[in-house]
């Protein structure tokens, strides 16, 4: 198996300071380099960059795809966490009264790929999914 290396993702945000506060305080990401138009974060060992983008004039409707009885927002991003880390994140999000798009729960119960998952939005409407597997061997199960 190849050594797992960090991914890099850059996402748009409408208010850089509001987004910086969310990623720092809600998701507990440490901040890296920054500029007046972007900021790097350490998201569980991965490089997340938020870039200031003007808010569109009209409302942007979130596209969803049905998965295991839920409307999953597309696009979305996140991290596969260890089971205990996922539980700790869920508790931290609930303590901060984060509104979930899809409540924390178990998806594909009793089937290949069974996983804990939760979806929520950042202040700019970017959808995040964090998931965990009790058996990480199920990550790519068919």
pLDDT tens digits for range 42-85: 999 999 999 999 988 887 788 999 998 899 999 999 999 999 99
Rounded-to-integer distance, Cα 132 and Cα 138, Å: 10
Secondary structure (DSSP) of 6-19 = --EEEEEES-HHHH
Rounded-to-integer distance, Cα 18 and Cα 124, Å: 9
What is the model's pLDDT at position 139? 87
What is the model's pLDDT at position 91? 97
Rounded-to-integer distance, Cα 26 and Cα 20, Å: 10
Structural domains for the chain:
8-55+64-138 (3.10.180.10)
Kindly report, residue by residue over 98-123, the tens digit of the pLDDT: 999 999 999 998 888 899 999 999 99
What is the model's pLDDT at position 1? 57
Whether 36 and 25 have beta carbons less than 8 Å apart is answered as: no
99 Cβ contact list (under 8 Å, min separation 6):
120, 121
Mean pLDDT of 124-140: 93
């Amino acid at each position: 198996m190849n050594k797992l290396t960090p991914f890099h993702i850059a996402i748009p945000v409408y208010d850089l300071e509001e987004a910086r506060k969310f990623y720092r305080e809600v998701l507990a990401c440490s901040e890296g380099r920054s500029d007046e138009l972007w900021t790097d974060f350490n998201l569980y060992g991965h490089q997340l960059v938020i870039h200031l983008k003007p808010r569109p004039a009209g409302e942007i409707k979130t596209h969803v795809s049905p998965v295991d009885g839920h409307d999953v927002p597309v696009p979305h991003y996140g991290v596969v966490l260890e089971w205990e880390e996922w539980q700790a994140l869920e508790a931290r999000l609930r303590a901060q009264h984060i509104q979930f798009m899809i409540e924390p729960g178990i998806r594909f119960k009793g089937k290949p790929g069974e996983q804990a998952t939760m979806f929520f939005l950042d202040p700019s409407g970017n959808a995040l999914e964090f998931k965990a597997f009790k058996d990480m061997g199920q990550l790519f199960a068919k």
